[in-house]
Structure formats: C-alpha cells, structure tokens
Structure 1
Amino acid sequence: MKKLKTTLLAITMLLIASVSISCKGGNKTESSKTLDNQMQKETEQMTNSDNQESKAEAILSDYFNLKDALVNDDNARAKDLGNTLAQSLKSFDASSYSESEKSDLKEIIEDATEHAEHIGESDIKHQREHFKTLSKDVTDMVAITGTDKKLYEQFCPMYDGGTVWLSMSEDIKNPYYGSKMLTCGKVQKEIN
C-alpha cells in the first residue's frame, strides 16, 4: 500500500512538472492551472495520509516495545513505555479517515490512552491487566488504519479466561506471565 502511494506521488509530481514545462513558464491556460491545483491537493492528501500511517506505525512500535517490557517482567521500563505510548496515541490525528472511522478511532484512542497512562503508573500485575484491554484497542485500531507489517494475534488461554495480544513474530513470548509462563499461548491468526 505504501509503495502504491509512493508511486502515485511520483506520477503526480511528474505530471505537475510536465504541465509546467509544456505551459512555457507563465503562459498557462486556465485548465492547466486547475489541473496543477488539483494535483497539488492530491499530493498534499497523499502526504497527509502517509503522515497518519507513520503515526499509526509509531503507535504500533510503542505497543510492541511495551509488550516486550512486560515479557521481560520489567515494571520500570513498562511504566516509561506506557507513558510514551500514551503520548503517541494523543498525537494521532484521524482527520483523513471517513466519518464513521473517525468516530471509531476517537473512541479507541481515548480508551487506549487511558490504559497506557495506567500502565505508566502501576505495578506489573496491574500493568498486565490494562495491557489486556490495550491490546484489544490496538487490534481494533489496526483493523481501521491497516499496517504494512505482518502481525500475529496470539492467544493465552490461561490469563483471565483467555487473552490476546499482537506480536511481530510467530514465536510466543507471553506478556501476561513473562518468565513464569513465557511460551504459554498460540498464534490465533495472522494480520496482513
């Protein structure tokens, strides 16, 4: 998807350049000026869309770092990463999505931010409780924003009646039990 957008951006830029050259500097007709304006707007929209994708990818990156801290039973690092994730979530702008997606993303982001903030101030047991809901929120966000990464939804049947999380690896590294039951779980599905 990102390659397609990059290709479209390159084509758009070439079209703008060719229209500018063919119009011999300042002798543009009204239709070529309109075409230039349309292409410029489309280029800006693609750039904004790429920017939103990068913010969604930053949220994913922060989520995976937090997951790894929980896998490693690192309460202090999880606190820091919970706060980092909360900031990434707060900076996400859903304006380039449809109205229904904006509404859904607003709810998801608000809930995820609250859980990330709680992780930023809690003991590891409580962090893991909030990570459960945070994982659902991030999974719901990815369903709307998409991702270029191959992700794995993993499932632990033992934690709180069964709980999922996302991973970039098929290898099970359980964030809910850490070193106590590191490999408890299975890949439930692939995303992307």
Structure 2
Amino acid sequence: MKTMINGLGMLALATATMLTVSCKDADKNEAPVPMVNEMHQETITDSDDLTLNGSQNANLEAVLKDYFNLKDALVADDNTKAKDLGMTLTKSLGSFFASSYTDSQQSELKDIIFRAKEHAEHIGKSDIKHQREHFKMLSKDLTDLVAITGTNMKLYEQFCPMYDGGSAWLSMNEEVRNPYYGTSMLTCGKVQRVIN
C-alpha cells in the first residue's frame, strides 16, 4: 500500500512538473505550419488594412477588428473593456451578410454566426473567467468563419496547452500574447499554424 501511495505521489509530481514546463519550453524551434484560409491577434483600428479577397463579405473586416480588440482586452485582463467589446462584436456579427456564398456555405455561416453571437453576448455580461471560457468557443467559431470566407491577411492560430485542456485563438501577430491567462502567463503558447 505504501509503495502504491509513493508511486501515485511521484506520478502527481511528474505531471505537475510537465505542466509547469510545457509553456516555457513549448516548441521554441518548431516552425509554424503554413495553412490556407484561417486567422488570429492584435488591436486593430479603423485605419488598419484588412484586405479580403473579392468573394468575401465586406462586413468580415468589422468582425475581425472587433475580435482582435476583444482578444487584446483579455490579454490585458480588462474585464470592463472586454464587456464593451463583446457587445460591439455581437453587433458586427449581426451585420455579417452571407448572400455572396453558396447555399451550403450560407447555411454553415448562419450557424457559425449564431453561435459566435451567443458567445460574444455572454462575454458582454460576464466576469473575466467566464469571458475567457466563451472566448475559447468564439475563437473556434471565427476560425471556422475564416475557413469558409478566406482572407488575404496573414494570420496566426496560436495555442495554449495549459488552458482548459488546450485552447486556440487567432492573432495578426506571430508573437504570442495569451488571452486565456493574460498578464499571469502572457507568453504561454505557440503558433500552431499560419493562415495564408
């Protein structure tokens, strides 16, 4: 029995050590894998150029701008700003028009937009812990959105192995700024793929 308890204690210690080291040593030398039609990070102003290809909806620009600004508020641990930006993103998602896409793409986009709006609304009304939970699902929705619409922008899908079993988000910059842990683990994560 004592051997079993010692063995479990060693296993717990090894697991804790691996989790602690995983963000510090996470594939620093591994090059990101290029991938077409996906997205990610950084604050965007109205003057920033989000060049979209001709088949894309012009309203995608507003959605991406609001998503990146929301991500940055979470990176800065700014609950109040994230609430405001969640509501702003809800409005820009509501203005997204999918009429220039095929019928099957329109159906997929409608479902994605519906889910993304729900997550953005929750972010607009929640504490920062709950905002981050919804941001994880929102990030997946926006990655799916960009996979359908495409973009000429170079975006980075970044990944944190520590948050909720592993969580991704999108960024415009290669440098990792973690929205799930903010200032407590700012650089935890890696670029897992490049979009475009």
Cross-structure match for 2:152: 148
Name the SS for the 2:101 alignment partner: coil
Specify which of 128, 131, 136 is matched with residue 132 of structure 2.
128
| Equivalent residue runs for 1:32-181 within 5 Å | 52=57, 54-181=58-185
Structure 2: any 5+ residue segments left out of the alignment? 1-50
CA shift, 1:149, in A, is 1.2
Cα distance between partner residues in 1 of 2:195 and 2:85: 24
Specify which of 174, 185, 190 is matched with residue 186 of structure 1.
190
Q: Does structure 1 conserve the Cα–Cα contact (< 8 Å) formed by 2:52 and 2:151?
A: no
Cα distance between partner residues in 2 of 1:84 and 1:68: 14
Name the SS for the 1:153 alignment partner: strand
Name the SS for the 1:133 alignment partner: helix
Cα distance between partner residues in 1 of 2:161 and 2:53: 39
**Which structure has the greater CA radius of gyration?**
1
Cα distance between partner residues in 2 of 1:162 and 1:3: 30
Letter in 1 for 2:164: D
Cα distance between partner residues in 2 of 1:59 and 1:151: 14
Letter in 2 for 1:147: T
Cross-structure match for 1:27: none
Letter in 2 for 1:166: L
RMSD of the TM alignment (CA)?
1.4
Cα–Cα, structure 1 residues 4 and 59, in superposed 2: closer, same or farther, change >3 Å?
A: closer
Higher percent of residues as helix = 1
Structure 1: any 5+ residue segments left out of the alignment? 6-48
Name the SS for the 1:164 alignment partner: strand
Cα distance between partner residues in 2 of 1:3 and 1:90: 19
Identity of paired residues, percent? 70
CA shift, 1:3, in A, is 8.9
CA shift, 1:95, in A, is 0.9
Cα distance between partner residues in 2 of 1:100 and 1:119: 29
Q: Does structure 2 conserve the Cα–Cα contact (< 8 Å) formed by 1:57 and 1:147?
A: no
Q: How many residue pairs are counted as aligned between the two chains?
A: 146
Q: Which consecutive aligned stretches of 4+ in structure 1 deviate over 2 angstroms post-superposition?
A: 2-5
Q: Does structure 1 conserve the Cα–Cα contact (< 8 Å) formed by 2:90 and 2:121?
A: yes
Cα distance between partner residues in 1 of 2:74 and 2:94: 22
